[in-house]
Structure 1
Amino acid sequence: MSLSVRALTLAVAVLVAVIVPARGAEVTADDTARFLAGMQPSADSPLQPLTKDPAWQRHARFFDSAFAQLEQRQLSKIRAWSDSNLAAPKPTMFYMFSGPDFLYADAFYSKATTYVLSALEPVGAVPDLSRLPRGGVGAALYNVERSLGSVLSFSFFITKQMKVDLHAGEVSGTLPILYVFLARSGKTIRDVKPVVLDAGGTLSIGADAAARNAVHGVRITFAGSDGVEKTLYYFSTDLSNSGVKASGFLKFCATLAPGNSLIKSASYLLHSGNFTTVRNFILANSATIIQDDSGIPLAYYGSKKWRFFPFGRYLGPIDKFPGAYQESYAELFRRAQPIDFGIGYRWRTHESNVLLSVRLPDDGTGAAEATPSPEEPPPPRPRPRKPRPPAPIPPPPLRDGFWFWR
């Protein structure tokens, strides 16, 4: 090829490159999660230039500090406790009334391969952050920080506050929080899809808003450092008796049972007659249940069906939830083993309680089925006078950590 032809070819190539620029790299869900979590996205990510913004750098420093404190104070200790006390966890874990709390689901049941989280909070959306208007990224990061404020300080979401925070701005709902928790837990997100459950519990990919009694959710596939692919489902659904009766949510969960269950900071809803269906489902479909006292009242466990392992200290409910004190719980916790972490509404280590309930094998006689039916709850027992539980101490400033209120 002559020199003039080569020059012409090069000129044409440059002109084409200017008129039709090469297609940019895709903004992946994993890069988005890392960016929202204050972690560096991949080198070729369109989000990489946004990490030069002082707002993102401040956000990254804040999350680095907050999650390091949370890891040291709670999560590492919970994982160690779980390794010591859970012999053979099932592949599935159920976490009703969870909100977007994958962080504690993973800490308590790190060996699960399928996580099913459910609560009223909407799934929401995370747009392409590289296309947000000027100032939009800083606002999004601020809303994420506000949404996580209570969980980082204590161990639970404050529901009323979360309803405001998770509807603010273009980055909304539980999805951005799930992204942050996955990234900060060392997970790599491989795929994210909206899902719908019909009334029969059949799962469909997509979001058919017109489907009757449809339950909307999201399915996230991810992997940890070992490369094992896992699945996280989050469903926005009403867990009251009327809600689960009208939906296919529990029917879908039954296809994954038996599993393990976590109940934490659940507003004592399972003490109520309006949540008997989900309560009975958890009891019937769980090999182990980890809960604080806001979970299933002790009277609804069959004593011949379960073996109880109490940890920590039971001081009764905080003043926000009067009438939920359990004398039988207090009696059980008189022989509790100590724990070195705090969870739940009484989030301080020396005030927290954890009950590990392990399902016993059925001996074939049916005697193990001793759980009272929701239609005929056990008669109330006379409650002896008890000293008033101490009032909760005001929470520490946000710099001391994170927390959730459900």
Structure 2
Amino acid sequence: MKSKAKLVSSLLLGLLMSCQVLAYKHEETSQASSTGYDQFAHFIAGQPTGRSPWATLEQTPLWEEHARRCNQAWLRLERNQLSRIRTWSSVELKEATAKARTVFYPFGGPDFLYAQAFFPNASDYILVGLEPAGVLPDWQNFSEENWTDYLTRLLKSLEEVLNLTFFKTEDMKQDLEEKEGSGILPILLFFLARTGHEIVSIDRVYILPNGDVGASENFRKPRRPGIHFMARRISFQAPAGGPRYLYYFPLDLSNYSLQRRPGFAAFLKKRQPLNSFVKAASYLMFRPAFSDVRSLLVNESDYLLQDDSGVPIEHFEASKWRLRFYGRYDKPIQLFEERHQPALDQYYRQTQHVPSLSFGFGYRLQPDRSNLILAKRVK
């Protein structure tokens, strides 16, 4: 019985990884391969495809248990977080989401889940993190131990964001360290499938200094390092509406890095109007070394939704921004306690009838200790 289970386990994991290899090796996708991406995404998300080669595996106890765990975790997340966020967004972000704007989510890593929950009608999602987009393995040469290690790291990363409200950067580095079988691509596909989307294509693209997007096969390494840089672009179909795009940039957002890559700011400016979103950002934009990305957010966003770890409150000029506060502002968690903002504390104390939150957000898991700030540009 054990040997049979091992055989099924090896077959399942091998098939999972073979599909990831396809996603990595084929830069331009055909209709046939796009169907493969979509089926793979739903399969790893615990949603039956009913199609070959997945149908046989979907009848195994191994996959049924995987699907059960996925469904159980998703139902809990839907009940405690996502449904409440969508209800909140439909009222508080009604104006911001009336048009299909671009969502810019710096420091978010692969957290498409929360960006989509708050901004479900976006045309483009631009996610930035330090985690690699993906280095996928030669699955035929992988041992059972390799597969077990890979899947364990992947599931651990998923469980973290499903049980918390954010990815921990240090844990992500360990779970997705750059070796065979690493990367955040499967996480993005999992979230896209679970939120009801169809994956159309997955491409590697590069960004020119003027912000234009080029196909990877036309990429020529520039003389000046960093001036052109790569991104991963996922084209997907929403349950209602036309095609949409998710761009993932494995990019350091420090001033030094952005100044070497002028195309990033140009790329953002070409996708206005912007709804920007910041959550659990390690208070990096309090530092002078991250003033450029802070300026991008303040200068280019029409709406900015964030917790207290985002842009410090003093950077919102009263003549240019209308601010609304939600939840409760408490001192930051111990790791960032020096980032307490007396000015923000005063805003909360002086504002009458601050609406409460029914969901946890950022570093605070409890709704009654979470805060949200919605900044709207005054025109």
TM-score by shorter chain over 0.5? yes
Q: Deviations over 1:264-292 (max 9, x none)?
A: 00000011111111111111111111000
Query: Normalized against structure 1, the TM-score is what?
Result: 0.78
Q: Distance in 2 between matches of 1:29 and 1:42?
A: 15
Q: Distance in 1 between matches of 2:246 and 2:257?
A: 22
Structure 1, 87-96 or 98-107: larger mean CA deviation: 87-96
How many residue pairs get matched?
336
Amino acid across the alignment from 2:54: L
Aligned to 2:361: 343
Kindly indicate which of the two structures has a greater share of residues assigned to helix: 2
Q: Does 1:281 align with 2:296?
A: yes
1:245 aligned counterpart, secondary structure: helix
* Cα distance change, pair 230–30 in 1 and its aligned pair in 2 (3 A): same
Cα distance, 1:168 vs structure 2 = 6.9
Describe how 1:2-401 pairs up with structure 2 within 5 A: 28-44=36-52, 46-86=53-93, 87-89=95-97, 90=99, 91-125=101-135, 139-167=149-177, 170-206=180-216, 208=219, 210-211=221-222, 212-213=225-226, 214-247=228-261, 248-334=263-349, 335=351, 336-361=354-379
Q: Distance in 2 between matches of 1:88 and 1:104?
A: 16
Q: Deviations over 1:59-78 (max 9, x none)?
A: 22111111111111011111
2:206 aligned counterpart, secondary structure: strand
Cα distance, 1:331 vs structure 2 = 1.6
C-alpha contact 1:218 1:233 (8 A) present in aligned 2? yes
C-alpha contact 1:216 1:237 (8 A) present in aligned 2? no
Q: Distance in 1 between matches of 2:161 and 2:325?
A: 24
Over aligned residue pairs, what C-alpha RMSD do you find? Answer: 2.2
Query: Normalized against structure 2, the TM-score is what?
Result: 0.83
* Cα distance change, pair 65–169 in 1 and its aligned pair in 2 (3 A): farther
* Cα distance change, pair 67–131 in 1 and its aligned pair in 2 (3 A): farther
Q: Deviations over 1:76-103 (max 9, x none)?
A: 1111111101214351110011100000
Cα distance, 1:133 vs structure 2 = 5.8
Q: Deviations over 1:340-371 (max 9, x none)?
A: 0111001211110011111111xxxxxxxxxx
C-alpha contact 2:135 2:179 (8 A) present in aligned 1? no
Runs of 5+ unmatched residues, structure 2: 1-31
Q: Which has the larger radius of gyration?
A: 1
Q: Distance in 2 between matches of 1:308 and 1:31?
A: 43
Cα distance, 1:28 vs structure 2 = 1.1
Q: Distance in 2 between matches of 1:80 and 1:100?
A: 23
Aligned to 2:7: none
* Cα distance change, pair 181–147 in 1 and its aligned pair in 2 (3 A): same
* Cα distance change, pair 107–130 in 1 and its aligned pair in 2 (3 A): farther
More relative contact order, 1 or 2 (CA 8 Å, 6+ apart): 1
Amino acid across the alignment from 2:71: D
